Amino acid sequence: MKRLWLVFAQSVTVLLAAYFVVATLKPEWLNRRPTLPTVVPVLESAAPSAPSGQATLPGFRAAAQVASPAVVSINTSKAPENSPQSNDPWFRFFFGDQGQSQPQTGLGSGVIVSPAGYILTNNHVIEEADQIEVVLNDGRKSAAQVIGTDPETDLAILKIELTELPVITLGNSDALAIGDPVLAIGNPFGVGQTVTSGIVSALGRTQLGINTFENFIQTDAAINPGNSGGALVDTNGQLMGINTAIYSRSGGSMGIGFAIPTSTARSVMEAIVRDGQVTRGWIGVEPQDLTAELAESFGLPAGTGVIITGVLQNGPAAQAGIRPGDVITSVGGRAVNNVAQLLSAVAALTPGTPATLEVVRKDGKNPVQVTPGKRTAPKAQQQPPR
């Protein structure tokens, strides 16, 4: 009996093995259709779609295509300063034409802001230039006329006589936030138009010693010599600032660049186009940032207001009754928390038109009416490197 059971078990094992071999290699012998792999269609775009109601942000390519045509290269030249001895025949006989110096040339960038041909750039790009040539991205060239300059913000307005000009859209720089992506467009080192990307690293940078009126956007988008006057744009291709200066130990980009916000550039441009110059208010005070200890003694929160340490005799502030030791907390409705903000707020006042200053003294807060005078720009200004 045991022998029969062993034979039966071996027979079943052999049959099962044969069945699996046939089913795998020749399924048609068993009238079975082979199992086909499941086919999953592959879409052309595997990118996930944006959630309902959420707009997709435009890429850097779109921003560059929108803004780049309006960014121009600016070539400047200045006649050489000849040595007084260059016309002496004996000097030329012994030393040749060493007194004949070469013309000074410069490179920079600019942004077309009007179909009428107005171009926004830095003052230090075109300062003291005898000839200015503007080269458009489409290859066209034109001589440029200086409409006006404002050394205190390092801005200048040029004008070219060409038609069908690409124009950049002025954006709202006040809406920028730290971390927003931006593009810097210009002509670094004269290699041709170049686009670099980065983010907004900081806002409201002051006391850098670059300009009199400072309110810079800081970015890590690569800015190099030749980028001055070029565009800082957002991801929509709208102008957020004018690239002006860099912090560098080598002369090249170290990831710290500064741009003048469009809000400042717009007001300067409108004043220059309208009046040929920028007119600013002046009240004749010497301010100083308020320390935390002094703020506490006046009953003010830390970082609020500016203390006046000196008042010009017979100046607008003195005539209005402002005296040393006063703390100014607002000018014309604009809060001031440091010297830079006070300077900008006073400069924004219209000369000859009374304005209200909030002044804090030991006896409390007092509104003071001041009639500002006209600010006189300093003759010599230290200019940043291109």
Residues labelled as active-site residues: 124, 154, 228
Q: How far is CA 329 from CA 113, 208, 240, 338, 366, in A?
A: 36, 23, 29, 9, 10
In 145-169, which positions are buried (b, 16+ CB within 10 angstroms) versus exposed (e)? ebbbbbbbbbbbbbbbeeeebbebe
Specify the DSSP element, H or E, that contains 12: helix 2-25
How many other CB atoms are there within 10 angstroms of residue 313's CB atom? 8
List the structure tokens of 349. Answer: 């006042």
| Structure letter (DSSP) for residue 128 | T
Q: Cα separation of 168 and 112, whole Å?
A: 6
List the structure tokens of 33. Answer: 């259709």
Specify the DSSP element, H or E, that contains 195: strand 194-205
Q: Using CA of residue 88, residue 91, residue 94, residue 99, what is the dihedral sign?
A: negative
Q: Cα separation of 267 and 276, whole Å?
A: 13
The contacts of residue 309 (CB under 8 Å, 6+ apart) are: 286, 287, 288, 324
List the structure tokens of 213. Answer: 């009126």
Is 131:76 a contact under the CB 8 Å cutoff? yes
Q: Is residue 179 left, alpha or beta, with left meaning phi > 0 and alpha meaning psi from -120 to 50?
A: left
Q: Cα separation of 370 and 330, whole Å?
A: 12
List the structure tokens of 98. Answer: 């060493």
